[in-house]
Amino acid sequence: MRHLVRSLFAVLTVLALLSTPAMAYEASRMGTIEAEKTNPMWDLFFLRPMGIAGLAVSAAVWAPMEVVCLMVRPTEWKKPIDMMLREPFEFVFVDPLGSH
């Protein structure tokens, strides 16, 4: 069992290292080319409900995460709020339709 976990960890590490240049290239390309807009109907009927579900899960996980953050790094207590509540909230309720 221990050998299987080590092998899996090694494979995932290699995959992460190999995918990093591709992600960096894509990020640099998106800065120069305007991102394509999503169909507003797709956004309204699929992406927004998925965002609401993600916001609910994120809100449920946020409370224990905030407690851990307060115990480990009390000066960075806003980071979990931004990542787990503000960004999903803005994705669902603030961003205009078709902008994703």
Instruction: Report the alpha-carbon distance of residue 94 to residue 36 in Å, rounded.
Output: 19
Which tokens hold the place of 4? 């299987």
**Are 62 and 30 in a shared domain?**
no
**Are 48 and 22 in a shared domain?**
no
Instruction: Report the alpha-carbon distance of residue 71 to residue 43 in Å, rounded.
Output: 38
Query: What is this structure's pTM?
Result: 0.58
Higher model confidence: residue 33 or residue 17? 17
Is residue 88 within 8 A of residue 50, CB to CB? The reply is: no
**Are 68 and 22 in a shared domain?**
no
Per-residue pLDDT band for 53 (boundaries 50, 70, 90) equals very high
The reported pLDDT for the residue numbered 7 is: 80
Mean predicted lDDT score pLDDT of the chain: 80
Higher model confidence: residue 37 or residue 63? 63
Q: Is the predicted pLDDT of residue 32 greater than 60, yes or no?
A: no
**Could you tell me the CA-to-CA distances from 69 to 56, 57, 61, 77, 83 in Å, in that order?**
20, 18, 12, 6, 13
**Are 65 and 99 in a shared domain?**
yes
**Are 44 and 76 in a shared domain?**
yes
